[in-house]
Amino acid sequence: MAELTSLRAAVESLVRDGDSVAMEGFTHLIPFAAGHEVIRQRRKNLVLVRMTPDLIYDQMIGAGCARKLIFSWGGNPGVGSLHRLRDAVEHGWPHPLELEEHGHGDLSNAYVAGASNLPFAVSRDYAGSDLPHHSDAIRFIECPFTGERLAAVPSVRPDVAVIHAQKADRKGNVLLWGILGVQKEAVLAARRAIVTVEEIVDELEAWPNACILPHWIVSAVCRVPGGAHPSYAHGYYERDNLFYQAWDAISRDRESFLAWVKRHILETDGFEEFKRVLQEGVAKEVR
Amino acid sequence: MAELTSLRAAVESLVRDGDSVAMEGFTHLIPFAAGHEVIRQRRKNLVLVRMTPDLIYDQMIGAGCARKLIFSWGGNPGVGSLHRLRDAVEHGWPHPLELEEHGHGDLSNAYVAGASNLPFAVSRDYAGSDLPHHSDAIRFIECPFTGERLAAVPSVRPDVAVIHAQKADRKGNVLLWGILGVQKEAVLAARRAIVTVEEIVDELEAWPNACILPHWIVSAVCRVPGGAHPSYAHGYYERDNLFYQAWDAISRDRESFLAWVKRHILETDGFEEFKRVLQEGVAKEVR
Amino acid sequence: MNAQVPFTAAEMMTVAASRLLRNGDVCFVGIGLPSAAANLARLTHAPGVVLIYESGPIGAKPDVLPLSIGDGSLAETADTVVSTSEIFRYWLQGGRVTVGFLGAAQIDRFANINTTVIGDYAHPQVRLPGAGGAPEIAACAGKVILVLRQSARAFVERVDFITSVGHLDGGESRNRLGLPGQGPVAVVTDLCLMVPDAVTRELTVTHLHPGVGAENVRAATGWKLRFADAVKETPTPTDLELDTLRQLQRRTALAHGRAPEA
Amino acid sequence: MNAQVPFTAAEMMTVAASRLLRNGDVCFVGIGLPSAAANLARLTHAPGVVLIYESGPIGAKPDVLPLSIGDGSLAETADTVVSTSEIFRYWLQGGRVTVGFLGAAQIDRFANINTTVIGDYAHPQVRLPGAGGAPEIAACAGKVILVLRQSARAFVERVDFITSVGHLDGGESRNRLGLPGQGPVAVVTDLCLMVPDAVTRELTVTHLHPGVGAENVRAATGWKLRFADAVKETPTPTDLELDTLRQLQRRTALAHGRAPEA
């Protein structure tokens, strides 16, 4: 049953040290505010699951929240590397990061299997690829009817899924639209789910067959306007491409990264103050 | 690539004797006009696939079109038996009908696997059920990660899928809404697809993430207003519950069934004339 | 307040079944009697019950009872409508359904369900409609409630065909199958309420409906039926239950030109 | 009419790649160079090409090039947007994609693709972003077209890691894997066009871009590169191609505050 609550309270009660956490959103609706709150509350030893780790996990990995990453593409889209992810993998800073890697199709299938309460998913991937040689999470099985050899992947069943959406109503029913990624599957595959939303409305006014997450599959709904920044929320605001570019310099060395996290996340008391500090920084640069 | 054509031409060129044919629609949007056209063109030896055979397959089975039925629930919803289906199974009239039966979850999974170009689907069904003992289409496999025993079903890959939808645009892009059943999966699982629609419009005016079948996965789009009668088309017309009830008497014995098929289907030149004859019959009864 | 007006056995059955649903339940609803009982619960003591139909509606709140499992009224009143394959995979098998509400053509002393054939499978006396969604509901719903009219033809020592498993051969036999759901927890008929024995899993009468004697139930059962040590009487329908049910059926008859079953 | 104005090697590469798409193609588009080439094709000779992006848009017709694979412009201009899991299962693996258009960090003489690591997997010199959707595209798209800048660092004898399989060890080795797609049919670089030999499946230069000599290509390749018996010159970009590409990139720079790659 969805509780309408603050993001701070939701993360306090629902994200625990050592949890597996899936924060999803494919370019669109990435739950950055929630990622910051996890850093702010200094969660540790998380197993992070996400198809496209993106800046949100670069920040969490650099801040020392993660012990393992399950992913399929870890870059800064259209810009280059995720420097904190690379530093963790290449140099073990701030500590070593275990990787479990997949292809997008495979990992999205693993969420589908999780949502379906199946232990594994099947696909036509990976014959000829080296990925199965370096992963215990890719195996091959035979079709019991045709004898064909197919790839299998274990389902993803996170302790917590965290997503951002456009709207919720006062009961906690959630509506999202545009690029949907695997958010619905992540929520259904997870034991607990936090949803941050742009706004809470009296009526969702959804169209037929809309992507709706009923309140009774969500643990907490938190109103966090702008909570997907610097990604975007279809119908609300655009992607901040300049921030994605700026992140390359901020994250490239450890000191500038740590200074940024300290000023923007650890020393702010929430996403509203984060936005104010960020705005001040931009204003300073312009001056 | 979708061709905008008549239903007669579509069935002539796309449905062949001996084909496996999936005509889908879960209570809603059942492609009755297309079913009639298959009878009218006297197709033979079809393997009929459908979760809920309903009156549409009762008519086709009674008319002698089918040699095999793959299904999960074969009744007249809210009324009782499908008498023509039962007569074929219990007495081999007009000729014996081979059955392959599943549960709904399992058969819908088989369509999903077909749409995904996988040879089989996996589920948590059937432990303890007698269905696997009477079917070669249900087997058990082991999860390669957990060792759990799971049910497997071969995918459904029909030669032709036939569905009814609300709208198409002039390119042949199709929009449907309301109860969607497994229509999208059936079309994607099939080699060829016929879609009858209530209307053809300049612009679909679809909402975000609407259920759309792009023109390039559809073989033929045919404008057949009312083509789902006696089932219903959300936003267009209601279910004709009285016809479903009337069917019980019409189909109960072979003679009245044959007379009905002759007068309403074989002696009419298409769905427009069918509707006229049906209307005359109703008018006569009222008098 | 309990009803002073007479009520039928069918009404008692629907009311008794509806009482087994709780406000927080997510109920996968079969058509016919289960649908009437589930909607009665929603309109009386369990306004927050979530009704899921196998055709795709989630959170349906129909004003009249659907005649078929995919009526437009279900889609129009639902919180959302998803594909049938999604309903079965994400919502039922996914473990989101707390109660499956089913009917049956035939059940046996371990609440196994037959909706496939009477007689031999290859040469049936009667070909029934088949499985529908019942095998998956029986396997995956948190628990299962069965509702059907009681007769010696329907309540048999051993079903001719197990379409959807109940407690199989009793005892630990269902547990050994490793199914996610716990199986049938109650069978509600027009005569009584039965629950599986905690150990043997054999159906045991715990409540007789008002005016029904043990001998009536025995006569309508094809095996030597067990009764609980202290069999109670089912509380009669309240005015609210009876009024709500009758209004629901009146609206339904008006909308469909006839009343559905129950 | 071919362009009289000068053009860059990057422009030639994008134009040459765009020409490989046909009007009826359904193209699964990687971000960056492939996206520029696919959209150029759509805006010139192949208006009916269907562009699918892994984030979910089907039939995207972006007015500006997306910076990331899930830009809002893709959703807004698409015929429909489905979930990412559906894109991979129903549309790519389902066999609906005729061409996969990919980039790569490293490829080898059999067009195997590495986007995982440079060096040893456990102790990489460089940790690359990883697979993305490429393994599935390489396996399931009807055919694959690769587009990337040519250098001896990127074109290596044998990739350090096969993320996404091309023609494996050449000859019949890919066929033996039983994958649905036929694999890479062309590699387009800023210097030339290569196709796999019909028998050995080794990449073979068939076209040199204007002003490029065989020695330039050899110097930018980490193995002893094969050339076709009659190597042709790639036709220079037409005015239409060049104008369209430059306008597309101008619009993109204006919209995003900077130009994306290519």
Q: pLDDT digit string (tens) for B29-50? A: 999 999 999 999 999 999 999 9
Answer yes or no: is B38 within a domain. Answer: yes
Residues B169 and B265 in one domain: yes
Burial degree of C230 (CB within 10 A; 0-12, 13-18, 19+): exposed
Residues A140 and A27 in one domain: no
Phi first, then psi: give them for residue A160, nearest 5 degrees.
Answer: -135, 135
Which domains does chain D carry? Answer: 9-190+236-255 (3.40.1080.10)
Residue D22 pLDDT = 96
**C181 contacts in chain A (CB < 8 Å):** none
CB-CB contact of C147 with C134 (8 Å): no
Shortest CA gap A147–chain B (Å): 9
Give me the percent of chain B exceeding a pLDDT of 70. 99
Answer yes or no: is B284 within a domain. Answer: no
**D89 contacts in chain B (CB < 8 Å):** 112, 115-116
**B216 contacts in chain D (CB < 8 Å):** 24, 26, 50
CA B31 → CA B23, B55, C71, distances in Å? 7, 11, 16
Answer yes or no: is A281 within a domain. Answer: no
Residues A180 and A122 in one domain: no
Q: What is the C-alpha to C-alpha distance for residues C75 and A209, in angstroms, rounded to an integer?
A: 9
Catalytic residue among D11, D54, D136, D202: D54
Residues A135 and A222 in one domain: no
**B177 contacts in chain A (CB < 8 Å):** 208-209
> Do the two chains D and C touch, given a threshold of 8 Å on CB pairs and at least 3 pairs?
no
Nearest residue, CB atoms, B179 vs list C55, C88, C140? C55
Question: H/E element holding B212?
Answer: strand B211-213
Rounded mean pLDDT, C117-144? 95
CA D199 to the chain's CA centroid: 22
Q: What is the C-alpha to C-alpha distance for residues D194 and B241, in angstroms, rounded to an integer?
A: 64
Range of the domain at A110: 104-154
Q: What is the pLDDT along chain B (287 residues), one digit of tens a residue?
A: 788 999 999 999 999 999 999 999 999 999 999 999 999 999 999 999 999 999 999 999 999 999 999 999 999 988 999 999 999 999 999 999 999 999 999 999 999 999 999 999 999 999 999 999 999 999 999 999 999 999 999 999 999 999 999 999 999 999 999 999 999 999 999 999 999 999 999 999 999 999 999 999 999 999 999 999 999 999 999 999 999 999 999 999 999 999 999 999 999 999 999 999 999 887 776 54
pLDDT 10s digits, A106-164: 999 999 999 999 999 999 999 999 999 999 999 999 999 999 999 999 999 999 999 99
Question: Which residue in A29, A112, A116, A122 has the most chain B C-beta atoms within 10 A of its own C-beta, making it the best mutation to test that interface?
Answer: A122
**A214 lies within 8 A of chain B by CB:** no
Answer yes or no: is B281 within a domain. Answer: no
Residue D249 pLDDT = 94
Residues B34 and B117 in one domain: no
CATH code of the domain covering residue A225? 3.40.1080.10
If phi over 0 gives left and psi between -120 and 50 gives alpha, with beta otherwise, what is residue C12? alpha
Residues A147 and A249 in one domain: no
Answer yes or no: is A284 within a domain. Answer: no
Residue from D151, C84, A52 nearest B25 by CA: C84
CB D94 to CB B209 under 8 A? Answer: no
Residue D30 pLDDT = 84
Answer yes or no: is B229 within a domain. Answer: yes
Burial degree of A50 (CB within 10 A; 0-12, 13-18, 19+): buried
Rounded mean pLDDT, A257-286? 91
Residues A82 and A182 in one domain: yes
Residues B205 and B258 in one domain: yes
Choose the weakest-confidence range: A38-47, C27-36, C159-168: C27-36
D54 is catalytic: yes
Residues A267 and A171 in one domain: yes
CB-CB contact of B72 with C134 (8 Å): no
How many structural domains is chain A composed of? 2
CB B208 to CB A178 under 8 A? Answer: yes
Residues A57 and A188 in one domain: yes
Residues B163 and B184 in one domain: yes
Q: How confident is the model at residue D69 (pLDDT cuts 50, 70, 90)?
A: confident
CB-CB contact of D187 with D203 (8 Å): yes
Residues A116 and A65 in one domain: no
Answer yes or no: is B219 within a domain. Answer: yes
Which chains reach chain C with 3 or more Cβ–Cβ distances below 8 angstroms?
A, B
In this structure, how many other beta carbons lie within 10 angstroms of the beta carbon of residue D174?
A: 26
Answer yes or no: is B165 within a domain. Answer: yes
**D47 lies within 8 A of chain B by CB:** no
